A and B are shown apart, each in its own frame.
Chain A
Amino acid sequence: MKIVVCIKQVPSTNDVKIDPQTHNLVRSADGVINPFDKNAIEAALKLRDQTNGEVILLSMGPESYRESLLEGLAMGADSAYLLSSRALGGADTLATGYPLSQAIQKIGDVELVLFGRQSVDADTGQVGPIVAEYLNVPQVTFAEAIDLTEDHHLIGKRRLDAAEQEVEVELPAAVTVRSEMNQPRYATPRQIQKSFEKPLTVWTEQDLDLDPERIGLAGSPTQVTQVYAPAAAKKRVTMLTGTPEHAVQELLQSL
């Protein structure tokens, strides 16, 4: 069984600031796999080991995204694809979901597509459901557990807003994974060495026969018009003093 895991590379820290002069984002250059996507890779590896399957990583972004794909290969994935070209750049979630879904179709016979529940930088969680819609497959979002049945179905446990839900879907399907599902494994030095020998293929929009109107900036319905630091609505703080007993007394009188 072929399992595709869609991953995103994110900055290693969210400690991002705005340069007051240039208004540009100042962020660390080194990228890591989005943490929730590691849970998705872990889930895929576990299912592969049960079913003699194949785990294929898929990402879209600049050449530097090779780094996180290699990291995923070192965790144990079998191969990786990177969708990368200037024309794909500047995409919002809609213009990201489209090339990913086309790539999954080109990979062919994919029975399960896994995603992390959301990225920690843009924090949208939208690409999973968009890809599910484009592939016309059922979606199991915010899954805490997944299991395969013998008759080629997947049982997923979802955590909803005030409920827990168990669902059964026929494959192919798309699943977005919560971090509660598992503990991602670490790459062993041997696995890291092996990762460099695994196939990592770069595709551009030409390899996928994409509609130019639906990719990159042109294919993105949304536009960012302004980027700024959050307004700090600071309060005027009254400091309590003395022993804890005294401070509590002072507090309770004021409240």
Chain B
Amino acid sequence: MTNESIWVYIQLNQDKIEPTSLQLLTKAKQIAEDKPVWAILLEPTTLTAEATIQQYGPDNILRLRDDRFAAATDEELADALEQVVTQYNPNSFLFPATTAGRSLAPRLQAKLQTGLTADCLDLAFDGDTLVQVKPTYGDNIMCDIICPDRRPQMATVRPNIFKAVRVPNSQTEVVSATFTFHPETTMTILNTTRLISQTASLSDAQTVIALGRGANQPKTIELARQLAAKMGGVVGVTRPLTDDPQFTHDQQIGQSGQTVAPDLLINLGISGAVQYTVGIQNANRIVSVNTDATAPIFADSDYGYVGDATEFLEGLLAQVK
């Protein structure tokens, strides 16, 4: 049986749906033309994510239920997915390029002997062929990649590149899948501790104060934190600042870091290397302060100021209500 459907993997982070999965449902519907969009949901019986997923309008929700999905290994998930892919033969299968997605998708890819493109920034159909836009060399180069002969065409897609749009679909059909859960006997998940995630707060924040190498002084960092607290925002940093032990990789914006989409982004002491700017393209309004008038960051900004980041911060702290 061939089925020209587009599948989207619904990643569950404990009891929450990973936002990227919902963003992918919206994107899949936009590019689908007449192909049906399926949400693939592996959930324990204690959860009912279907109602939320339906808000984003898939044609079908293929549900695999087993309590062991509450804490399953990559192999167990990949094994269950392999069973349903072989039953339905989808055209393509999209995953969030999150830690979970980037661990699971290649394992499944090897089982299915098909192609997988990592960390895509865009997707489009050319007939039945999925054209996958993938950055390489630290986002300096873009590639169009296709998988012409094998199915499904698999891709992981970078978080926050697309916006999830609610378009409730009363026709969404929930299909219960037939599969067997095969436990992986050589691996045990001892515990999973939810983190008060900097990642989530950074990628969801409406205001982000971003610090670069030109704003790495203790005083500047302290002022940025005060301003973030005052504005209800969060502090993010460029790659070089993650060498400072007070910042973690989770606070990094850009390639190999987070993609942010705030209403207001204030860049301080950031020159604007492409590895950074690719992570801020969905920011609504961008303000940048740099001592170098020729810094490339200004070309990506709505407002620019050539001057000292610390003094600018002091000005903001004094004047922002």
Contacts and interface: CB of A to CB of B under 8 A. Distances in A.
Interface stretch (A69-77, A78-86, A105-113, A129-137): A129-137
A197 interface: no
A236 B113 CA distance: 47
B113 A166 contact: no
Interface stretch (B26-34, B84-92, B94-102): B94-102
Contacts of B104: 129
B141 A161 contact: no
A63 interface: no
Given A123-B256, A126-B109, A247 B194 contact: no
B217 interface: no
Interface of A is mostly: mixed
A7 B99 CA distance: 20
A227 B99 contact: no
A16 B186 CA distance: 43
A191 to B, nearest CB: 25
A125 B146 contact: no
Interface in B114-153: 114-119, 131, 135-150
Contact of B106 (A126, A179, A221, A240): A126
Contact of A163 (B118, B194, B302): B194
A14 B275 contact: yes
Interface stretch (A37-45, A52-60, A91-99): A91-99
A64 interface: no
Interface of A: 11, 14-18, 25, 27, 92-94, 97, 118, 120-130, 132-134, 137-139, 141-142, 155, 158-170, 173, 178-180, 220-230, 232-241, 244-245, 247-249, 251-252, 254-255
Contact of B311 (A11, A239, A244): A244
Interface stretch (B58-66, B161-169, B293-301): B293-301
B103 interface: yes
Please provide the 4 A-B residue pairs with the shortest distance between their CB atoms, ordered closest to farther: A221-B115, A14-B138, A248-B315, A133-B110
B135 A160 contact: no
B173 interface: no
B307 A123 contact: no
A236 B194 CA distance: 41
B175 interface: no
A42 B121 CA distance: 33
A139 B75 contact: yes
Interface centre among A123, A161, A178, A255 (most CB of B within 10 A): A161
Interface residues of B, number: 89
B280 to A, nearest CB: 11
Contacts of B188: 167-169
A53 B308 CA distance: 54
A41 B303 CA distance: 45
B195 A237 contact: no
B50 interface: no
Given A161-B199, A237-B301, A239-B304, A121 B136 contact: yes
B216 to A, nearest CB: 18
B48 to A, nearest CB: 20
Nearest to A169: B187
Nearest to A247: B305
B2 interface: no
A17 B274 CA distance: 12
Contact of A125 (B102, B114, B184): B102
B275 A239 contact: no
B303 A230 contact: no
Contacts of B150: 221
Contacts of B78: 133
Interface in B282-321: 285-287, 298-308, 311-312, 314-316, 318-320
Nearest to B298: A237
B107 A133 contact: yes
B4 interface: no
Nearest to A128: B106
A254 B16 CA distance: 38
A123 B118 CA distance: 7
Contacts of B118: 93, 118, 122-126
Given A162-B199, A221-B149, A254-B303, 17 more contacts: A121-B137, A122-B118, A126-B118, A129-B74, A138-B184, A139-B103, A162-B13, A162-B197, A164-B193, A169-B186, A173-B186, A222-B147, A227-B141, A230-B139, A230-B274, A245-B319, A251-B303
Interface centre among B186, B302, B319 (most CB of A within 10 A): B186
